[in-house]
Amino acid sequence: MTTPGGAAPAAVGGTAVVPGPTHRPRRRLGGWRAVLAPYGFVAPALVLLAMFGLLPILVAAGVSLTDLDIKGLGQPETIEFIGLGNYERLFSDPDFWRALGTTAYFVVIGVPTIIAVSLAIAVALNVSRSRFFRALRAFYFLPAITAIVAISLIWGYLYNSQFGLLNQLLGTLGLGPVGWLSDPGTARLSVALVAVWRATGLNTIIFLAALQSVPREYLEAAALDGASRWTTFWRVTFPLLRFALFFVTVTTLIGWLQFFDEPYVLTQGGPVGATTSISLFIFKNGFSLNQFGYASAGSIVLFVIIAAVTALQLRMRRSDDD
């Protein structure tokens, strides 16, 4: 008799002993190969990150130390190194501080509003999984995949002070027309509302996915204990949404610090600079005034602000986990 491995059984004390199947030892990477093997898998991603993430930052940092303008692009010998001159000019520029204050306004208005509205819509859509509610999910997500130019043009017609739909509705109530985009007092809020409407859909989907991942056993246990829906949400469901809430908060805050599309298309930063964010300020100085060194200094300052805010949020998140 032979074993499955092809070896004949051995007799020990008159009893046949069948050896087990033979296994070849796995070949392991040794030394430096074992250390470098994981990096080989992430090398393509690291190369792309370096090319399209780190390299532009380094180039912008270098350009911010020069007086590069449109003439210097064709004649590099005319570019002069001015050190921190652009930063000194930036921090003494009242337009920069006004753009910074406008960006802070957009952040304070936009971030909490988007989070609250998105979470409320997600909770409402999580009530049922019928075809109607699935269609509503697609409806709320449409603004997130629609071209920003098309969205801004449509809202521009709605906001029009002469024939816009909003002013026509106010006219039926006997109220006078409102300069939604022409009055500095209302322009910033009007632009912010468009951005809130556009960004709500994506964050709603994220919250909805987090809500559907909450174990049903927790909700059933709370119901058996006599907890109301409101108590169940705040004591059971909401704490389990902390990872989704953290992700939405970080990404939304970064997006609003770089707020550019809606102000550029709707108002071009007006009226009288009321909707000029930091990103739009950088764009105007770089591509309208051709002051690339000065614009690069503004982009580096914006990068530092975003990095500092993100690091603070990560630190707060770790402290909560501890």
Give dist(CA 270, CA 273) in Å, integer.
4
- Residue ranges of domains in the chain: 89-321
Lowest mean pLDDT among 25-39, 54-68, 169-183: 25-39
Measure Cα distances from 304 to 18, 97, 101, 257 in Å. Answer: 70, 16, 16, 11
Give dist(CA 96, CA 315) in Å, integer.
29
Which pLDDT band holds residue 152 (cuts at 50, 70, 90)? confident
Neighbours of 214 (CB within 10 A): 16
In the predicted model, what is the mean pLDDT of residues 11-33? 55
In the predicted model, what is the mean pLDDT of residues 120-148? 81
Instruction: With beta carbons less than 8 A apart as the criterion, state whether 243 and 210 touch.
Output: yes
* Percentage above 70 pLDDT, the chain: 87
Whole-number pLDDT of residue 80: 87
Q: What is the pLDDT of residues 193-229, one digit of tens each?
A: 999 999 998 999 999 999 989 888 988 888 888 888 8
Domain 89-321: give its CATH code: 1.10.3720.10
Which pLDDT band holds residue 146 (cuts at 50, 70, 90)? confident
Residue type, 180: W
Residue 162 has pLDDT above 90, yes or no: no
Residue 202, C-beta contacts closer than 8 angstroms, at least 6 positions apart: 141, 144
